[in-house]
Amino acid sequence: MPTPVYLSAEDHERISAAVGEAEMHSAGEIVTVLADRSDGYTDVALAWAAIVAFLALGALVIAPEFYMGLYENLLADWGHEWTPRMIVGLAAGIAAIKFGAMLLLQLIPPLKFWLVPPQIKTMRVHAHALRAFRIGAEQRTTGRTGVLVYLSMREHRAEIVADRAIAAKVDPEVWGQAMSAMLAHVREGRTCDGMVVAVGKVGAILAQHFPRADDDVNELPDRLIEI
């Protein structure tokens, strides 16, 4: 399935310009990442399929006549005597059909992501943001002043991850306002505006704690990374 296009070339230029402007006033380095999703959630999809299969088996135990009658009507095999092997086969067939059907239903992305528990989305987005930070920003600046602004579209979640020097001076709660401002725009379909606002707020925080030195150089790319 092709990845949706969330931003235009002009949007990329706006975000890069916002990063450049923010970095003009501080020694910090801002990396922006936009992800279509942070995880495939295959384990969650399999778990839902297994739950549905077990529920179907429970329904067979509670109302066996319904499934036995359905089997007999479909195969026109009336009046035969049910053996233990046939009952086990019926149960296995019902479980397999329900399992497969639930997996197929979850090929519809909106339904699949709706079924993922919010806590799992939050944990997976956080984990993926940390991986992206370690690859793209952590310990890649002279003063350990890299900051990652990470937005995951399918999960409707954002993360701001700061390198060691910044994390030592800025409480994690401070980034909450920047993330809230970004998500407020994203919810309205203005993804680029949200990223630009977040970059501006992060830049203001960095300028307060890490003002730009005369010999400061740009150590990380300003361009948005889409994954």
b/e for 153-174, b at 16 or more Cβ within 10 A?
bbbebbbbbbbebbeeebeeeb
pLDDT score, position 217: 67
Residue type at position 118: P
pLDDT score, position 215: 62
**Residue 71 tokens, joined:** 């089997």
Confidence of residue 53 (pLDDT cuts 50, 70, 90): very high
Task: Sketch out the chain's domains with CATH numbers.
Answer: 9-39+118-226 (3.10.310.50), 42-114 (no CATH)
Consecutive H or E run containing 62? helix 42-62
Per residue in 7-30, pLDDT tens?
889 999 999 999 988 888 887 788
Per residue in 63-119, pLDDT tens?
777 777 777 666 656 566 777 777 787 788 889 999 999 999 999 999 999 999 999
Tell how strand 157-162 and strand 146-152 pair up.
Answer: antiparallel
Per residue in 122-131, pLDDT tens?
999 999 998 8
Q: What percent of the chain has pLDDT over 70?
A: 88
Query: How far is the first Cα of the chain from the last one, in angstroms, to the nearest whole number?
Result: 14
Confidence of residue 1 (pLDDT cuts 50, 70, 90): low
